Amino acid sequence: NGAARQLVDGENVAEKSVIRGGGSGGGDKGLGVNYAPRGGQHSNERSRWAVAELLVWKRVLSIMEMREVTKYLQHHVLAAKPPPPPPPAHKFSIVDADHSGGVNRMELVALIEKAAGLNNAHAIVSDDLWNKLDKNDDGKLDAAEFAAVSQRMSAHTLFIEPVLVYPPQKQTAKAFTTIRNVPKVEHGADQQVTTRHQIIEKACENFVLLRQGTLAIPGNSRGWNEWYDELNDEDIDPLSGVKECSALDENETAARVLGDAADAYVLPMLVTAPGSNIFFIDPAAMIANTEDSTEDGEDEDLFARFEREGLTLELKPAETNNGNDVALAVV
């Protein structure tokens, strides 16, 4: 239109045809970037700018059409986006299975186990974590406390760090070695999907062995929670036995041994470094995990769920004991 119509926020700032540099037909207003042909208050200043989008029509638009385009850009393209809706929450009324008006510790454990999609796994909610969640220390989560917990799950700041526990066995060796074969990966290959985040650029897996005086292990979730709290009371935390990751080419590393050296039995556990292998338990992950666990009516292999493709591990005594160097665990 020969610059006869120049709209700024819907207002036409050109009174008549404007020709860059002045000349015949030059008007008294014009638009430009880092260009002020007739000077001005800030004509000597320059800005760093870029074009985000350029819309072109095959014909001249009328003033009304230009205003319609302006309105669309203002309200649908350039307008401040509304804040995202709050993340979906776990339903308080469902988690409160006994309808007591609050979610107790074992009901929270049941929710976590269901969210993980593993029917034969047991979740541990430590005393320390529970005390942080139960703000008023009344032994249960009220609606507000549970909403905060659910929000943390949805924000992926409350999650599961899995541990594989193997059958206890009699073993008199004092030290043990983890032999691992980890497939090479490209730099920047850490993985995060709907249900899980995992570091695969480094070797973060190792065995932790807990010495104990019996072959017995807990048989249910309540028992595992009590077992863990009793260990914590003795300043033993097997779940944090792996402090950090190491290079992928370090094929052998010392396994961590905890507990009383006089005890004849060891409980092998496969543990990963903090933050290196986590399961999300937000509602979306819960749906995906449930679908995985019920597909074909069978649970997915636990080792496949917890670890990386191609990983092999072997746990052996560090020194031969009477000619017996049979591996304690091979995965």
Q: Which amino acid is at 5?
A: R
Tokens 């045809």 found at: 17
Q: Which amino acid is at 21?
A: G
Averaged pLDDT, 272-295: 78
In angstroms, the CA 18 to CA 24 distance is 9
Tell me the HSE value of 161 on the side-chain side, using a 13 A CA sphere. Answer: 21
Instruction: Return the pLDDT at 187.
Output: 53
Instruction: Return the pLDDT at 318.
Output: 81
Q: How confident is the model at residue 325 (pLDDT cuts 50, 70, 90)?
A: very low
Phi–psi pair at 8, nearest 5 degrees:
-125, 115
In angstroms, the CA 259 to CA 275 distance is 25
Q: How confident is the model at residue 21 (pLDDT cuts 50, 70, 90)?
A: very low
Averaged pLDDT, 21-28: 48
Tell me the HSE value of 126 on the side-chain side, using a 13 A CA sphere. Answer: 16
Highest mean pLDDT among 184-193, 268-277, 299-308, 311-320: 268-277
* Burial (CB count within 10 angstroms: exposed 0-12, middle 13-18, buried 19+), residue 106: middle
In angstroms, the CA 93 to CA 322 distance is 59
Averaged pLDDT, 133-153: 93
- Residues 95-107: tens digit of each pLDDT: 999 999 999 999 9
**pTM over 0.75, yes/no:** no
Highest mean pLDDT among 11-25, 171-185, 272-286: 272-286
